[in-house]
Amino acid sequence: MTKWLCVGGEGWGGGVDELKEVKEVAMTAVAQYGGALQWASNELQEDKEVAMAAVAQNWYSLEYASDELKGDKEVVMVAVAQNGGALGHASNELKGDKEVVMAAVARDDWALQFASDKLKGDIEVVMAAK
């Protein structure tokens, strides 16, 4: 069952709808392929534990998390630690959070493009991006 659900994440996307509601299934799927979060139910995309597992496996999974979790500093920090580009999927509030932006640009200088205008003009942030 696990292999069917998680082969490249694709199996789950075309799978039985009821399975998209089961947290245990979602946790198994996202642990193997974080992008499987996109096929989870809205409720599970709003579940911080599921989203954290997905983002820990693959930073890009932040794109599929709920808007609320895109504004959760802990979730976003896990993502930007892997790839600064994850800042592009963060909430506007966190794009203006200096700690988050500093972590993103320290990892990948080009992530500065996703920062708030105010932080794009902050000398400390700009220097961290170089």
pLDDT (tens digit per residue) in 71-109: 999 999 999 999 999 999 999 999 999 999 999 999 999
* Whether pLDDT at 10 is above 90: no
Give the Cα separation of 123 and 89 in Å (integer).
23
Single residue among 65, 83, 102 that ends a domain in this structure: 65
Residues 40 and 98 occupy one common structural domain:
no
Residues 79 and 44 occupy one common structural domain:
no
Q: What is the pLDDT of residue 13?
A: 52
Give the Cα separation of 65 and 76 in Å (integer).
10
Give the Cα separation of 91 and 76 in Å (integer).
9
Distance linking the first and last C-alpha atoms of the chain: 47
Share of the chain above pLDDT 70, in %: 85
Residues 90 and 57 occupy one common structural domain:
no
Domain that holds residue 57: 1-65
Q: What is the pLDDT of residue 3?
A: 41
Single residue among 65, 85, 112 that ends a domain in this structure: 65
Look at the chain and report how many structural domains it folds into.
2
Residues 56 and 79 occupy one common structural domain:
no
* Whether pLDDT at 46 is above 90: yes
**Spatial CA neighbour of 78 closest among 109, 105, 57:** 57
Residues 44 and 95 occupy one common structural domain:
no
Token duo for residue 21? 């509601």
Give the Cα separation of 129 and 110 in Å (integer).
7
Token duo for residue 68? 């609320």
